[in-house]
Amino acid sequence: MPAWSNVTQVQAVVTVDATVTTAAMTEWLEEAEGYVTDLLNLPTTFVFSAAKPKHLILREVVVMRAAIKAMQKGPTSVLTLDYAAFAADICRDIYNDCIGLLNENKAADFLEE
């Protein structure tokens, strides 16, 4: 189970197609948490706390990453393709902003402040 986020948070960001399973979204969240942990070199002693505002940046990162994957899985008509691309761009921008902030501030130290 993901430690920083959950499927409901992904569903709150994007409309998830019925063919996308909860198990798939859970797997995407777990992958994202592992990716971010490795990318930011978080220590094995790191414990996520939703009570710490800086830790919520991590949640935002993994939710946006999973939301982008969820959008890729749903059927899209030509009419809604522009909207889907725009939504994916927004999720990507939020993701990149959060990762950038964490990288600029030496994530492990920043999150422990």
- SS3 assignment, position 106: coil
Angle between helix 78-104 and 55-73 (nearest 10): 160
Q: Sorting pLDDT into bands at 50, 70 and 90, what band is 51?
A: very high
Residue 46 has pLDDT above 70, yes or no: yes
| Contact status, residue 40 vs residue 103, Cβ threshold 8 Å | yes
Read off the pLDDT of residues 54-113 as tens digits, 9 standing for 90 and up. 889 999 999 998 888 888 776 665 557 777 788 888 888 888 888 888 878 777 677 776
pTM above 0.85, yes or no: no
